[in-house]
Chains A and B, each alone.
Chain A
């Protein structure tokens, strides 16, 4: 990939830690964000768990004014965005506001907002809806609210591609810089914990706890579905030149990106992972690397029977003889499946691994599945110096993406 794009700021709001340092520490400790759902009633469901962010207090990061009409997705993103900007040591001034861009992956925006607005119209009549809630019903609302809060006046984009949304948003952000439409871009993703999305996952049989134990245990023999979760991660992207000019701390370089949609079916994983294989190969090509150069893969494996096996098989195909030695782990064992935010959280985790010399573990690993036989760094993080890593994202609707990052 040309133009040496680097990451100079990281903001994370997650179920295991808020802020990059707390997040990285929790990853290293193998902390789990899984807990009983409190935001809505699960008594009629067979499942009860999720990775909610308990005690989420956005006013601690954003101040108390202007939050009144904002939904949870927006507040999560605003916090991650503010943390990222501060972490990068940046301020957006009126003179350079036009050169600051935003690119956020979210598939549904705030599904809760859309649903509540529609239901209130049905219940109370269309005249008695709250007009201030209407703007929350557009999917591009969270990123636009971030732009309003930060007064960021460059391009503002929203990318919806399901499980790969935030990696694809990062790519869009990279392209904004390469095409000289922005100098810095806040790129990432967000997913809010809400009844609507939870039920969506439940009804399409993606949640764990119906066919087996209610655990997030990627690669484990007992795996039977995801634990749904929420979070937001935002990265500050800029060219290496721009970063060096302002004396910014550089966390990592983005070496390559690959994506490949594989048309198969709705809500069904394509069993041979043909799309994921292409995405990983394209990413390596784009990075000018071969398989042996990758030290760590931050997997998309999410504790479903299909995905974890598919990813294992694809890694074996792409990495061949190196597959057995490469380190692979799934942060979803700790964070749950955060859908549109997953890619960005995984990149944030991987950058932690690169900078702090540790591999986040795959926790809840107790029973080996003979078909999943790679080194998944089970249960405890391991101290490793890693240089280059690949971050995967893929889902059961055909989208597959891969981002390659490296130490600077």
Chain B
């Protein structure tokens, strides 16, 4: 009765590539998408680097009129969806709206519009605030704009669970297809480069001054990024029958909450999350080839994540490859786990593991195999995508190689 779920399309918009091909090519070359922040004035800040997407051209994906009606996060989401549709050769017009879902994860929603409004409010007063923009700020508009753009009905929602959001969206899309409620899911995440996020992370002293070095002994913190990733999910048997390319099968997901602190992670919460994922999917620790780590590059996160991995994998820890692509992209907030999910799909599909770049000095407390600096060709059967959010909202989604 429960159906198997396949990933049949990938669309990504990132600082190292727009579209799956360019993204993957640069990812496995260990290319960095980090640069000096230009979207706002950082002169008053102690930090100035981030993973902005410098070459995003919205008009390639939406009309001029649409660019005036939606914020950057929505634009990134639509672009990623367009790329995913092209990738799977799907056509929104042929979808059954009653059996489709658009589920988007985000951290800041349409923060850019909001930031414009706040500035106007402070500098010019409330009366001068553009009423048109005011109605365009709510987070749910990320999925609403997508629905309107593609004229697609069905299930439509945003899951704003911060840094784990896309994983939640993908997990829920998986649930809905599995139970037969829908036949097509557009699931992923989007976040535009946010001044609010940049300010906050800098103030928490959680941000690096230059590079992101997950698991490195001298790691100094995360970097803020932006992007969008969309996975197309469909029932596996149907996809197989219609000869679609199947990147991976989603076996299930684990969810947990730290119930500890808004920003300080708990190794117990993320241990249980991975355990839940393995329990739900029946996958044994020794069957996991790769973990796409949350790996933000902060002292605390990476340490806790390594402890949790050891808790879950025990003696198999050294045999699981664990890399963090945040070393290249920075932390793309709500999109991060979506981009990482797409990475897991490519990993199991291509048998290549992306590296953790900027790795110079091993940390004895983070003694996992982090695929340092260079991508690796190896058979990848099962990949686990970890994502942990502010508030201790934890997710692990399990991807399996599809062999026909």
Residues of A within 8 A of B (CB): 44, 97-98, 101-102, 107-109, 114-115, 117-119, 121-123, 125-127, 129, 131, 134-135, 137-141, 143-145, 147-148, 150-162, 165, 168, 172, 175-176, 178-179, 181, 199-200, 203-204, 259-267, 275, 278, 282, 397-399
Contacts and interface: CB of A to CB of B under 8 A. Distances in A.
4 A-B pairs with least C-beta separation: A144-B391, A261-B156, A134-B200, A155-B255
Contact of A153 (B121, B141, B258): B258
Given A108-B139, A203-B134, A260 B159 contact: no
Given A44-B127, A153-B257, A199-B126, A140 B154 contact: no
A135 B153 contact: no
Given A265-B148, A397-B140, A140 B157 contact: no
Contacts of A98: 256, 272
B98 A278 contact: yes
Nearest to A150: B259
B158 A144 contact: no
A168 B148 contact: no
B82 to A, nearest CB: 16
Contacts of A121: 195-196, 199
Interface string B161-205: 110000010001001000100000000000000011001111110
B203 A127 contact: yes
Interface in B196-223: 196, 199-204
B157 A145 contact: no
Contacts of A204: 131, 134-135
Contact of A140 (B45, B98, B161): B161
Contact of B158 (A125, A161, A259): A161
A141 B175 contact: no
B137 interface: yes
A219 B147 CA distance: 30
Contacts of B202: 126
Contacts of B57: none
B138 A108 contact: yes
Interface residues of B, number: 77
A154 B262 contact: no
B195 A118 contact: yes
Contact of A266 (B136, B159, B262, B269): B136
B391 A145 contact: yes
Contact of A145 (B108, B121, B201, B262): B262
B283 interface: no
Given A118-B114, A160-B159, A261 B137 contact: no
The prevalent SS among residues of B at the interface is mixed
A175 B392 contact: no
B160 A139 contact: yes
A98 B359 CA distance: 35
22 contacts: A118-B115, A118-B195, A118-B199, A121-B196, A126-B45, A137-B108, A137-B200, A145-B262, A155-B256, A156-B393, A160-B109, A160-B140, A160-B159, A181-B280, A200-B138, A260-B153, A263-B150, A264-B148, A266-B69, A266-B148, A398-B144, A399-B144
A158 B200 contact: no
Contacts of A175: 172, 175
A261 B69 contact: no
A273 to B, nearest CB: 13
B29 interface: no
Given A200-B135, A265-B148, A397-B144, A131 B204 contact: yes
Contact of B109 (A134, A139, A266, A275): A139
B158 to A, nearest CB: 4
A126 B389 CA distance: 23
Contact of B137 (A135, A200, A262, A282): A200
A152 B44 contact: no
Contact of B135 (A107, A140, A168, A266): A266
B155 A261 contact: yes
Contact of A122 (B45, B118, B139): B118
B352 interface: no
A154 B145 CA distance: 31
Contacts of A137: 108, 196, 200
B349 to A, nearest CB: 27
B256 A153 contact: yes
Contacts of A125: 44
B90 interface: no
Contacts of A144: 257, 262, 389-393
Select the residue from B97, B157, B195, B202 with max chain A CB neighbours within 10 A: B157
A153 B135 contact: no
A153 B254 CA distance: 12
B107 interface: yes
A129 B45 CA distance: 12
A122 B156 contact: no
Nearest to A264: B148
Contacts of A115: 114, 118, 121
B46 interface: yes
Interface string B77-109: 000000000000000000001100010001111
A375 to B, nearest CB: 31
Contacts of B45: 126-127
A178 B139 CA distance: 27
A131 B118 contact: no
A140 B160 contact: yes
B286 to A, nearest CB: 24
A179 B392 CA distance: 21
B67 interface: no
Nearest to B148: A263
B30 to A, nearest CB: 31
A398 B156 contact: yes
Interface string B112-127: 0011001101100011
Nearest to B117: A115
Contact of A275 (B153, B160, B201): B153
A158 B151 contact: no
A92 B148 CA distance: 42
Contacts of B204: 131, 134
Given A144-B393, A260-B153, A160 B196 contact: no
B152 A152 contact: no
Interface string B273-291: 0001000100000000000
B389 A122 contact: no
A275 to B, nearest CB: 7
B114 A114 contact: yes
Contact of B391 (A114, A129, A135, A181): A135
Contacts of B239: none
Given A144-B257, A203-B135, A397 B141 contact: yes
A233 to B, nearest CB: 19
Nearest to B269: A153
Given A139-B139, A260-B153, A181 B255 contact: yes
A44 B127 CA distance: 9
Given A148-B392, A261-B155, A203 B199 contact: no
